[in-house]
Amino acid sequence: MSAPPFSFGSWRADAHADAPPAKAMQPQCSRTDLMTGKDIKNVLVNHTAELMALPGVVGVGQGECRGKPCIIVFVKSMTGLPLAQFPSVIEGHRVEVEESGEFRAT
C-alpha cells in the first residue's frame, strides 16, 4: 500500500478512513497547556523547518486530534526514535507523532 497523499497544511489524519490505522503517540499535556487563537497554518509555516530537521521526520502536516486542529509529525519508523525530542504542544496546537514509512511521489 502506498503512503497517503500529502499536501503541506491540508492533510487530515481522518481523511483516509479506508487506510489501516497508523501508530500514533498521544501527547501528554493538560488543557491548561493549550493556548487559543493561533492559526494552525501560520504555526506550521513558522515551525515546519525545525520539525523536519529532527531525526526520523519525513513530513509535517495539519490533522485533527480529539476534534481539534493539530500538528502531525510523520516519522519513517518509531523504532528507536527518541520521542522526547518532539514537543507535545506548539503555539497552542497539539503535536502527534505518527509512523508513516517513507513518502514517495507517484
What digits encode the pLDDT tens for the residues 15-57?
333 444 444 444 433 343 454 567 999 999 999 999 999 999 9
Residue 58's alpha-carbon distances to 33, 64, 76, 86, in angstroms, are 26, 19, 6, 14
**Cell triple for 16:** 483516509
| Ordered structural domains, the chain, with CATH | 24-99 (3.30.300)
pLDDT at 74: 95
Q: Write the CA distances from 90 to 18, 28, 40, 77, integer angstroms.
A: 29, 13, 9, 22
